[in-house]
């Protein structure tokens, strides 16, 4: 039988339909999850993966891209375990939070569902989502003092949560016993299961309409087109070696900075990313696995070349040099809870190295930290006395400027398409009050195009007491500008005790902070780096910056005197 015909119009239709399958899975989880980090911030993602290789075939447009890249490793790890236990079976769903094989960190639970057609494995469907609390030493699990993975969260290798269509009560009991918030966990798990179920129905419908072979051919063609576009973009860059390195403040255990270093080589239509000069794996929780490092590169390249289809073809023209036991290729049991900070620095160095090859294409560095913050305690009000509450959230900052204009102010990190949880949602769910939520003047890097502004968040405790931790970065090394642009402002975290404000000894990381009723914590997040020489910024733009309060009169006076 000859291959079915795949014309360009049909290919475009199938690309949209396949992406819609993943988009609907995303939407289903967002609407059903109990946890605001998923429901409001959209810290989750869904995709379709190759039946044999586990490579990314399709991703949704609203989920976290870094999850999609890392999930390919999780699918492969799950398939390997399943092969030793009789192989993937129709009606089974596997669950894991293994940060070493599946990437990211232990809060991110990955569900893998083998998708069968006519008794044969056609592809894998997968869901990844950040669960609110999964055990460990601190509520919310971003433990800045962790030195082993077991101090961060419960460790779940790939196991079946659903067998032959039936939820396994034993695995569920283990999961529920290892969280401070079992109802939140139950709701999030059910949301992911429902998303996978809907995705399977939608994919069956698509295959019934177009045929199994044609859709499979389309997925292969989309990967091939991604590779062709990547080769074309790489070939448009000047051949050469472009190097850049940047710093993490510390690992939360010792005050020494850690280096993320990149030597990027462009040779024709191939790209080589060599991270060999990066720091060794460390004691604290800023380590990441190689799977996560590759996923971070995928995200950075998609930012640089946004028209390339989002699938494994993005990486087919890229060679990696990531030696073992670096901070970006750490091994068990090195802690990985703060993976977000390290992948943001990887994206920074890729942007800055690419700027040396083509500054018009690249973007200056964004604010470079999610500022993971947890405030947790027990309720004291009538009717809820003794109930545990955990407010975990992340916060925004300024994005880097680019050749076309100023950077975005108060955006979310470039690792994701997630949103910052609204203060109304946080205040309604937890006993806190935001006494300030504003743009941070003077935080964007100066330049022909100004970096986006960071933000100021001040939070007051309304309960009688609570415990706080913060896990951030960019407290010592600011986001860099490119093409002559200036740096953004440093990150600042402070907390109040008995009327006196304090800063963490490790600048951006601390656990064990105690608050009493009426005391506050305050975040002043970085702005993005600037693009181009400051002298090239037009006077009317500077006047508007002053009028809008983006740049203060004091800062303007300092610049004019320099």
Counting residues of the chain whose pLDDT is more than 70, the rounded percentage is 98
Task: State residue 64's pLDDT score.
Answer: 80
- Biggest alpha carbon–alpha carbon distance for the chain: 80
Beta bridge partners of 326: 280
pLDDT of residue 513: 97
Whose tokens are 């916060």? That residue is 395
What mean pLDDT comes out for the span 139-164? Answer: 95
From CA 364, how far away is CA 481, in angstroms rounded?
A: 5
Residue ranges in 84-181 assigned as alpha helix (H): 169-177
What's the pLDDT tens digit per position in 53-65? 999 999 888 878 7
3-state secondary structure of 464: coil
Token readout for 63 is 């989920």
Please tell me whether residue 67 adopts helix, strand or coil conformation.
helix
pLDDT tens for 325-345 read 999 999 999 999 999 999 999
pLDDT digits (tens, 9 = 90+) for 530-556: 999 999 999 999 999 999 999 997 766
d(CA 81, CA 99): 15
Q: Which residues pair with 94 in a beta bridge?
A: 112, 160
Residues 242-257: what's their mean pLDDT? Answer: 97
Cα 541 to the chain's mean position, in Å?
33
CB 227 within 8 A of CB 72: no
- The whole-number average pLDDT for the span 276-300 is 96
pLDDT, mean over the chain = 94
Q: Average pLDDT, stretch 401-426?
A: 89
So what's the pLDDT on residue 340? Answer: 94
Residue 213: band (very low, low, confident or very high) from pLDDT cuts 50, 70, 90: very high
Please report the DSSP string for 280-301 in residue order.
BP-SSTT---HHHHHHHHHHHH
Residue whose C-alpha is closest to residue 432's, from 34, 36, 33: 36
Helix (H, G, I), strand (E, B) or coil at 143: coil
Residue 562 has pLDDT above 60, yes or no: no
Global pTM value = 0.94
Percent of the chain with pLDDT over 90: 89
Q: How many CB atoms lie within 10 A of CB 83?
A: 10
Segments making up each domain of the chain, as ranges = 8-226, 363-562
Q: Is the pLDDT of residue 125 over 70?
A: yes
pLDDT in tens, 342-366: 999 999 999 999 999 999 988 999 9
pLDDT value of position 559 = 57
Long-range contacts of 428-432 (CB under 8 A, 24+ apart): 429/36, 429/391, 430/375, 430/389, 430/391, 431/377, 431/379, 431/389, 431/461, 431/462, 431/463, 432/375, 432/391, 432/459, 432/460, 432/461, 432/462
Burial 151-173 (b: 16+ CB within 10 A, else e): bbbbbbebebbbeeeeebeebbe
Instruction: Give the model's pLDDT for residue 420.
Output: 85
pLDDT of residue 2: 44
Classify 494 in phi/psi space as left (phi over 0), alpha (psi -120 to 50) or beta: beta
140-154, 303-317, 408-422: least confident range = 408-422
Tens-digit pLDDT profile for residues 157-166: 999 999 999 9
Q: Beta-carbon neighbour count of residue 5 at 10 Å? A: 8
Residue 259 has pLDDT above 90, yes or no: yes
Measured distance CA(98)–CA(238) in Å, rounded: 39
How far apart, in whole angstroms, are the C-alpha atoms of residue 469 and residue 514? Answer: 9
Residue 1 has pLDDT above 70, yes or no: no
The stretch 459-478 carries a mean pLDDT of: 97
Averaged over 111-137, what is the pLDDT? 96
Decide if pLDDT at 561 tops 80.
no
Task: Inform me whether the pLDDT recorded for 374 exceeds 60.
Answer: yes
* Separation between Cα atoms, residue 179 and residue 11, nearest integer Å: 45
Q: How far apart are CA 10 and CA 318, in angstroms?
A: 29
């Amino acid at each position: 039988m000859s291959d079915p015909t795949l014309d360009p119009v049909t290919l475009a239709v199938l690309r949209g339909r396949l992406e819609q399958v993943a988009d609907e899975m995303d939407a289903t989880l967002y609407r059903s999850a109990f946890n605001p980090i998923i429901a409001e911030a959209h810290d989750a993602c869904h995709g379709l993966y190759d039946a044999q290789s586990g490579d990314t075939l399709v991703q949704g447009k609203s989920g976290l891209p870094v999850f999609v890249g890392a999930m390919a490793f999780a699918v492969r790890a799950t398939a390997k375990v399943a092969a030793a236990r009789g192989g993937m079976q129709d009606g089974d769903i596997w669950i894991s939070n293994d940060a070493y094989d599946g990437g990211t960190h232990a809060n991110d639970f990955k569900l893998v569902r083998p998708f069968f057609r006519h008794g044969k494995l056609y592809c894998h469907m997968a869901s990844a989502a950040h669960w609110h609390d999964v055990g460990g030493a601190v509520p919310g699990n971003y433990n800045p003092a962790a030195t082993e993975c077991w101090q961060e969260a419960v460790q779940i290798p790939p196991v079946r949560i659903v067998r032959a269509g039936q939820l396994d009560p034993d695995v569920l009991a283990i999961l529920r016993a290892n969280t401070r918030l079992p109802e939140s966990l139950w709701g999030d798990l059910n949301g992911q299961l429902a998303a996978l179920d809907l995705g399977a129905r939608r994919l069956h419908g698509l295959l019934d309409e177009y045929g199994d072979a044609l859709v499979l051919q389309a997925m292969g063609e989309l990967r091939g087109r991604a590779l062709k576009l990547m080769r074309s973009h790489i070939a448009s860059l000047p051949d050469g070696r472009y190097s850049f390195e940047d710093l993490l403040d510390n690992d939360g255990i010792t005050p020494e900075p850690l280096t993320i270093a990149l030597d990027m080589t462009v040779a024709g239509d191939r790209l080589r990313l060599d991270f060999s000069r990066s720091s060794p794996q460390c004691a604290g929780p800023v380590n990441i696995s190689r799977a996560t490092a590759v996923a971070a590169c995928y995200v950075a390249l998609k930012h640089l070349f946004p028209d390339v289809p989002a699938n494994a073809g993005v990486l087919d023209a890229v060679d990696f040099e990531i030696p073992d036991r670096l901070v970006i290729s750490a091994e068990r049991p090195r802690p990985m809870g703060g993976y977000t900070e390290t992948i943001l620095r990887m994206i920074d160095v890729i942007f800055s190295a690419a700027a040396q090859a083509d500054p018009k294409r690249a973007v200056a560095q964004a604010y470079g930290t999610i500022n993971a913050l947890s405030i947790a305690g027990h309720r004291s009000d009538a009717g809820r006395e003794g109930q545990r509450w955990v407010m975990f959230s992340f916060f925004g900052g300024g994005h880097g400027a680019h050749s076309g204009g100023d950077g975005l102010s108060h955006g979310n990190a470039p690792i994701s398409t997630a949103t910052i949880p609204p203060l109304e949602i946080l205040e309604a769910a937890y006993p806190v009050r935001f006494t300030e939520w504003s743009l941070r003047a003077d935080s964007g890097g100066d330049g022909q195009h100004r970096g986006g502004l960071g933000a100021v968040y001040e939070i007051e405790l309304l309960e009688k007491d609570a415990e706080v931790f913060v896990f951030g970065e960019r407290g010592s090394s600011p986001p860099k500008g490119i093409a002559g642009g200036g740096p953004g402002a440093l990150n600042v975290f402070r907390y109040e005790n008995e009327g006196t404000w304090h800063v963490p000894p490790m600048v951006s990381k601390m656990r064990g902070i105690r608050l009493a009723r009426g005391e506050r914590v305050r975040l002043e997040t970085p702005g993005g780096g600037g693009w181009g020489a400051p002298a090239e910024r037009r006077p009317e733009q500077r006047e508007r910056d002053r009028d809008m309060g983006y740049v203060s009169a004091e800062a303007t006076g300092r610049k004019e005197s320099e």
